[in-house]
Structure 1
Amino acid sequence: MTADLDARHDTRKKILDLAETLLLTRGFNAFSYQHISAELGMRNAAIHYHFARKTDLGVALIERYRRRFARFIAAQAGLAPAEQLTRYYALSDSYHQRQQICPSGILSAELHTLPAEMQQAAGAFVAEMRAWAVDIVARGRADGSMHYAGSAEGMGALVFAAMQGALQLARFDAAAIGGVTQQLAALLGLATVGNNKE
């Protein structure tokens, strides 16, 4: 029984892993179960066993991102706001280095073509990413490390939107992420916080 459960879990994980790659390189609407079954050498029925509808697979992917992001935030909890901001920037850069679109970016771009269940899950995920940016700059202002005009809500939204845009620009200009993070640092009154590369 345990071996059967492990095998089912392993198959489910393989499906999710490949679906994630397809989502971040093609978009949700540009792949089908046929792409997954062909790559993994299984029948479509095996995928439907784990995810009856493609919508179920899409929701599972988003919930997986949300859990991953929650763990990421928790891992940064002991860092100062300025350092957390650097880690926030690094999320975008990691997708650029893998030549992928970030999940929030592709879900936002395809939002109106996604099933309602996916739209709801995607909205919650994007709200969590934006909320962390707001929290970082609010705490940065509170501890005196960041100085900026306007509200923390507005500045956090600007940070989130700028990084989304920078990742898109970086597909044409690799220096875009570094340039945007340095400009954000200036807006926040930070001297050197940005996309750090050795």
Structure 2
Amino acid sequence: MSAARSTRKRILDAAAELFQRRGFSGFSYQHIAAQLGVRNAAIHYHFPSKADLGVALLSRYRDSFRWWTEQVERQGLTPAQKVARFLELESRYCLEGKVCPLGVVCVEFENVTQAVQAEAAGLAADLETWLAAVLEEGRRAQDIRLEGASRAVAVAILAQLQGGLQLARLRGSRHFQDVLQQVRDGLGISSAGLLVAAS
């Protein structure tokens, strides 16, 4: 990796950490520069404006999610197991004291540029489309208990996860675990992604 690509990656890594802990308005280039031991000019070289940085961050989240879904598909998991893995992915944010990137943008929606809004909307669509497809796959395979349209259920699950991560910052991670359990119970899957009998 070239020095320029390495610096760009380090900037994005540092920015992502600040983004998910402090929010988009809660950090500046100075925070990144101090953390990395570089000058602000080095950051501006790669990202002329903070909006450019925001778009790059969200684009990277989208790329990471696409990569993750590809890995999940290669593992030959059942639909229920795929959903369980997705819930584990969201759980990591909670364990690390972070919120989902979408949650950051939703809270600060009016304070970010249209380009950042559009990239966030793209990430939301990626998550919704994948989850809805897996839920529908699970309905056909009788691997997931699904009531209602798969896309509507996917939206409801994403909303629960977003809200759960926000509340966890106030009330502790146990509250997020309760949200996860409600999602699992609603779909009839265990934490291991196995179909459980309806009560």
TM-score by length of 1: 0.90
Determine what percentage of the aligned residue pairs are the same residue: 38
Q: Deviations over 1:29-52 (max 9, x none)?
A: 111111111222222111111111
Which deviates more from structure 2 when the two are superposed, residues 167-176 or residues 70-79?
167-176
Which deviates more from structure 2 when the two are superposed, residues 168-177 or residues 48-57?
168-177
Q: Deviations over 1:94-123 (max 9, x none)?
A: 011111111121122112211111111111
1:187 maps onto 2:183 in alignment: no
**Matched residue, 2:197:** none
Q: Superposed, which structure 2 residues align to 1:57-72 within 5 Å? A: 57-72=53-68
**Matched residue, 2:111:** 113
Q: CA deviation at 1:147?
A: 2.3
1:7 maps onto 2:3 in alignment: yes
Choose which of 52, 56, 79 in structure 2 pairs with 1:56: 52
Any stretches of 5+ residues in structure 1 without a counterpart? none
1:174 maps onto 2:170 in alignment: no
Moved runs in structure 1, 4+ residues, more than 4 A? none
Amino acid at match of 1:19: A
Q: Deviations over 1:118-169 (max 9, x none)?
A: 1111110111112222112111101011223211111111111111112122
**Matched residue, 2:98:** 100
Choose which of 121, 124, 129 in structure 1 pairs with 2:122: 124
Matches of 2:4 and 2:174, distance apart in 1: 43
Amino acid at match of 1:83: Q
Does the aligned pair in 1 maintain the 2:78–2:143 contact within 8 Å? no
Q: Number of paired residues? A: 190
1:47 maps onto 2:43 in alignment: yes
* RMSD between superposed Cα atoms in Å: 1.6
Matches of 1:99 and 1:114, distance apart in 2: 23
Q: Superposed, which structure 2 residues align to 1:152-167 within 5 Å? A: 152-167=150-165
Any stretches of 5+ residues in structure 2 without a counterpart? 194-199
Amino acid at match of 1:141: R
Q: Superposed, which structure 2 residues align to 1:75-86 within 5 Å? A: 75-77=71-73, 78-86=76-84
Does the aligned pair in 1 maintain the 2:94–2:168 contact within 8 Å? yes
Matches of 1:13 and 1:154, distance apart in 2: 36
TM-score by length of 2: 0.89
Matches of 2:101 and 2:116, distance apart in 1: 12
**Matched residue, 2:28:** 32
